[in-house]
Amino acid sequence: MRVHSAGLNPIDYKIFHGGPAAVRNEAVPPCGNGNDFSGVIDELGDGVTGFQIGDAVFGGKRMHAQADYVVVDATRIIGKPAALTFEQAGGLDIAGRAAWASVASLGLTAADTVLVGAAAGGVGMLACQLALRTGATVVGTASAVNHDFLRDLGVIPVAYGDGLVDRVRELTPTVTAALDYNGAATIDAALQLGVPGMRINTIAARGHRAGTGITEVGGQAATLNDLEALATLIAAGEVVLPIDRVFPLENVQDAYRYLMTGHARGKVLLAVR
């Protein structure tokens, strides 16, 4: 694969800062960085079928994507729909899988009102749109600057921080489920709002309130078919995936400094070529 765009995700800096994520991913520097990529097939390995040199594709390879070229298993890539930009495709693997699997895990229906924590982030905005497609009502936490953006998606925005529970109660009489993409505060608010633990899923606060039935379904539960289905929805304009900022590869440090502010709206990418 000749890489065109490489997406950034919080897991990258959790790995390169060391700690549990680095241990889980067996990251031993010096090593590569980044997972998400889009690009063009440059060479085919023996026995690969279904792809040709020159095909535009996208996918992920943990700690390898931010490079001119990536050697990747053909079972880990998907043909890029023509209407999906290289930037959108290059930012989809981790956030798309996580959004798809976490929303699916709750079995939402039109009878649900779901609280989404960090609704305007890379995962959160996709999850909000997938939750809305089930017919559920979606209340999403975000800074005021993102409230109009969320309203345009069909999400009822609410500010996070002190008083969240009271603000949600003013917006809706009942909350039946919660999707957490930021941390403990969303989980605690959901429990206080009467959501049973087994109807709360988190991908951002491992082990928080253990024993209450909270699930931790993330991207690993999503298949390549799920990712392809999401890419098709984005290509058709039925789900939007805004690109917040694109940095040149040589400015990768600035790109991570920006992502680490924690206020990206949509995806942050590196332009590799």
Ligand X SMILES: NC(=O)c1ccc[n+]([C@@H]2O[C@H](COP(=O)([O-])OP(=O)(O)OC[C@H]3O[C@@H](n4cnc5c(N)ncnc54)[C@H](OP(=O)(O)O)[C@@H]3O)[C@@H](O)[C@H]2O)c1
Contact positions vs ligand X (CB under 6 A) = 9-11, 94-95, 98, 117-118, 120-124, 141-143, 146, 160, 181-182, 185, 203-204, 218-219, 259, 262-265
Instruction: Give Cα separations from 2 to 39, 68, 73, 149, 188 (angstroms).
Output: 5, 6, 14, 34, 44
> With contact defined as beta carbons under 8 Å apart, do 69 and 222 qualify?
no
Distance of alpha carbon 109 from alpha carbon 194, whole angstroms: 18
